[in-house]
Amino acid sequence: MADSVVSEKKIAASPEEVHPHKAYGWAARDTSGHLSPFRFSRRATGEDDVRLKVLYCGVCHSDLHNIKNEWGMTIYPVVPGHEIVGVVTEVGSRVEKFKLGDKVGVGCLVDSCGSCNSCEDGFENDCAGWVLTYGVIASDGTMTYGGYSDFIVAPQRFVVRFPDSIPLEKGAPLLCAGITVYSPMKYFGLNQPGKHLGIVGLGGLGHVAIRFAKAFGAKVTVISSSPAKEREAIDKFGADAFLISRETNQMEAAAGTMDGIIDTVSAVHPLNPLLSLLKNQGELILIGVPEKPLEIAPYSLIRGRKKLAGSAIGGMKDTQEMLDFAGKHGITADVEVIPIDYLNTAMERLARNDVKYRFVIDVANTLTHP
């Protein structure tokens, strides 16, 4: 039944009919993940919509999982990109929040049902009907395409105002990496002075997580597989301590010390040693999405009544709140700004953990139309 609804939707959607505006970006077309120029179309700006010219777009590890179909859900061709910063070029007649020339952001979501309990409570990120910024079929029956492209159209509810104090390229990663770490810190009560927070994986999400946690006044310990990252974790990002996950002695010495742990690791890794770092009743919050299931020894949860949780991005109200907080506290990402034709090399480097700490595409200056 559900399948037939989806296929009817697909058939109903002639992209040119529904989406009259020519767009241009970079797409992956198969599981090689190779990205190359791609022409497509987007909808006209509706009465509730904001159209923005993309200036910068961050490269999230989720983009890499997607282009290679590591989660088994990719619909090709896929135009990735959900850390989008741009300038408003058109607004619909009912848009009051934004005007032409405003600097704005679009993150991982471009729609949700708008009427379930989660949506009403401002947790569009928990809505069963969420519409991701790229790679899914939207309510008009056509594919969503992300920010590795010249422009995007999104409902005003899914557009956030970008603080003046944050440089656009350094702030773009906040639209996914920032909210994905801010939201669980807030909802699991880890955003308090005196809390001891563990952050696993010092990558795009991990490095901004340290900065948010320090701004909240928490004590931060990084748990990493890369000994070479220790100095930067402490001197540059402000972590208080650094544990090398495979050094059993270091891990055992820190047992039972942490109130909560945010795990950003993108690959399969052991969870039981992380659970032993928690105080009794502490929680391990998974936000990384490895391509295969992770193993848990029940005893490592049972002993000390520990909790295992997860969290997906964040709601729109929290996304604006996170950006305003980042603007006030000077929180940005460390970025390597790249031209769009460097994308395939950037993806190879991201796959081998060789980025400090987020690639951001200079879309406006390097995406040249054919």
Whether the CB-CB separation of 59 and 359 falls below 8 Å is answered with yes
Closest CA relative to residue 56, chosen from 162, 214, 127, 131: 162
Q: Does 225 bind ligand NAP (CB under 6 A)?
A: yes
Q: Does 335 bind Zn ion (CB under 5 A)?
A: no
Q: Which is nearer to Zn ion, 60 or 367 (CB)?
A: 60
Question: What's the rounded Cα separation, in Å, for the pair 196 and 243?
Answer: 14
User: In 139-247, which residue ranges form alpha helices assigned H by DSSP?
Assistant: 168-171, 177-187, 204-215, 230-231
Which pair of structure tokens corresponds to residue 241?
Answer: 């301590």
Q: Does 152 bind ligand NAP (CB under 6 A)?
A: no
Minimum distance from residue 160 beta carbon to ligand NAP (Å): 16
Whether the CB-CB separation of 238 and 220 falls below 8 Å is answered with yes
Those residues whose C-beta lies under 8 Å from the C-beta of residue 243, and which sit 6 or more positions away, are: 221, 222, 223, 224, 250, 251, 254, 277
In the stretch 264-303, what mask flags binding to Zn ion with x, by CB under 5 A?
----------------------------------------
Which pair of structure tokens corresponds to residue 58?
Answer: 């961050």
Binding Zn ion (rule: CB under 5 A), the pick from 113, 251, 308, 312 is 113
Binding Zn ion (rule: CB under 5 A), the pick from 116, 244, 267, 296 is 116
In the stretch 156-195, what mask flags binding to ligand NAP with x, by CB under 6 A?
--------------------x---x---------------
Q: Does 316 bind ligand NAP (CB under 6 A)?
A: no
Angle between helix 316-329 and 204-215 (nearest 10): 70
Q: Work out what residue 267 binds among Zn ion, ligand NAP, none; the CB cut-off runs from 5 to 8 Å by kind.
A: ligand NAP
Q: Are strands 49-59 and 35-42 parallel, antiparallel or unpaired?
A: unpaired
Minimum distance from residue 157 beta carbon to ligand NAP (Å): 19
Q: Does 119 bind Zn ion (CB under 5 A)?
A: yes
Q: Which residue has the tokens 């989720």?
A: 62
In the stretch 34-73, what mask flags binding to ligand NAP with x, by CB under 6 A?
--------------------------xxx--x--------
Q: Which stretch binds ligand NAP (CB under 6 A): 134-142, 266-274, 318-326, 362-370?
A: 266-274
Minimum distance from residue 126 beta carbon to ligand NAP (Å): 11
Those residues whose C-beta lies under 8 Å from the C-beta of residue 83, and which sit 6 or more positions away, are: 57, 58, 59, 60, 107, 147, 172, 173, 174, 175, 176, 177, 360
Tally the residues of the chain.
Answer: 370
Contacts with Zn ion, residue ranges (CB under 5 A): 60, 62, 112-113, 116, 119, 127, 176
Task: Give residues in contact with ligand NAP (CB under 6 A).
Answer: 60-62, 65, 176, 180, 201-206, 224-226, 229, 264-267, 269, 287-289, 311-313, 350, 353
